[in-house]
Every structure is written in structure tokens, then in C-alpha cells.
């Protein structure tokens, strides 16, 4: 149900500032101690599998929000706004798990890249403007969300944090470490 302008906005707020801030992320201490990746591994291996599973969880979260909002009798504008927010917030949460190939945000933490925190905050505020600031509401065809609706979008979006990279990557890295 997303509109073309909403998709452009989604790409701008989730790929713009957070991507720039990720470039300032400190390197991992053991990075140079790892062996190169094995070119003989299957294509569905490690990080690629992590991304595929995350994409599935994203699709599931968006679909559940869509079905719940429709079955609750919301107008299509409200449903679209909720899905729009779910997609944007999911991507913003997902960035936190993209900082390392072998550590989730729960192991790596978030305090060592202040630029990323500022970028995520700015992107979050921009998204809130898209749904609560009347001129942006007209542009993006959004409607304000009540607390409950916003909470649902945030809760479903936070599911991206449940897909932990170490589940997919640690087996790889065990064989890649230099003895």
C-alpha cells in the first residue's frame, strides 16, 4: 500500500544519514586476525543468509501490521501510514545489527559511534515529521498515529533486533580465525 513518494522517503531517511554514519563506525579489533572468506561456501551462507532471514522478518512484520490495521477497521490512509512507519523503523533498528559481521547490537553495543546514534535520532524525527507535521502529511499522504498505533509499529519494527548475526556468522568465523 506504500505510495511512490513514501518509498523515496523511506530510502532517503533509512539509507542517507545512517549509511554515512556507519562509515565512521570503529573497525573491529580482530578484523585483521580473520582468514579470508572461503570462496567455496554455498551462496546462502553467513551474512547473506542473515540478510535473507531479516528481509523475511521485515516482510512478516509489515504484513502483520497491515492485516491487523485492516481487520481493526482503520481507513486505508491510517493502514498505509502504519505500514510506512513499520518499514522505516524496521530499517532504522536493522542498522544497529549491520555494524558487525559476528556481533549483534546486544554484544557490540551502540555507544561507540555517536554519529550513528545522531543519524538514527535524526531519521526517527524526520519520520515523525512525515506523519505529524501537516505540510509533510499532505506531501506523503499520511495521517497522525495515536500512541497505541505508533507503539505497534515500533514493537513490530524492533523485531529486526531478534535476528542476530552471530547465529549465522559465528560458525563461519570460528574457522576463519588465525590460530
Q: What is the pLDDT of residue 118?
A: 94
C-alpha span between 25 and 90 (Å, rounded): 20
Among the listed residues 21, 59, 85, 47, the one whose alpha carbon sits nearest the alpha carbon of residue 164: 47
Report residue 10 CA to chain centroid gap.
11
Instruction: Give 151-162 pLDDT, tens digit per residue.
Output: 999 999 998 887
Give every CB contact of residue 78 below 8 A, 6+ residues apart in sequence: 69, 143, 145, 149
Instruction: Give 112-147 pLDDT, tens digit per residue.
Output: 888 999 999 999 999 999 999 999 999 999 999 999
Radius of gyration over alpha carbons of the chain, in Å?
18
Q: Which residue has the cell 497522525?
A: 144
Taking the complete model, does pTM exceed 0.75, yes or no?
A: yes
For residue 137, the tally of other CB atoms under 10 A from its CB is 17
Amino acid at each position: 500500500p506504500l505510495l511512490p513518494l513514501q518509498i523515496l522517503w523511506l530510502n532517503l531517511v533509512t539509507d542517507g544519514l545512517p549509511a554515512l554514519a556507519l562509515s565512521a563506525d570503529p573497525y573491529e579489533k580482530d578484523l585483521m586476525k580473520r582468514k579470508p572468506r572461503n570462496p567455496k561456501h554455498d551462496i546462502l551462507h553467513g551474512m547473506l543468509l542473515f540478510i535473507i532471514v531479516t528481509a523475511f522478518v521485515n516482510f512478516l512484520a509489515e504484513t502483520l501490521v497491515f492485516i491487523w490495521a485492516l481487520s481493526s477497521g482503520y481507513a486505508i490512509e491510517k493502514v498505509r501510514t502504519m505500514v510506512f512507519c513499520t518499514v522505516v523503523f524496521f530499517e532504522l533498528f536493522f542498522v544497529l545489527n549491520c555494524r558487525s559481521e559476528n556481533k549483534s547490537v546486544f554484544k557490540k553495543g551502540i555507544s561507540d559511534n555517536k554519529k550513528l546514534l545522531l543519524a538514527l535520532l535524526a531519521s526517527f524525527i524526520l519520520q515523525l515529521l512525515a506523519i505529524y507535521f501537516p505540510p509533510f502529511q499532505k506531501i506523503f499522504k499520511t495521517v497522525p498515529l495515536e500512541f497505541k498505533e505508533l507503539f505497534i509499529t515500533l514493537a513490530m519494527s524492533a523485531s529486526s533486533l531478534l535476528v542476530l548475526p552471530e547465529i549465522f556468522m559465528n560458525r563461519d568465523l570460528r574457522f576463519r580465525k588465525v590460530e
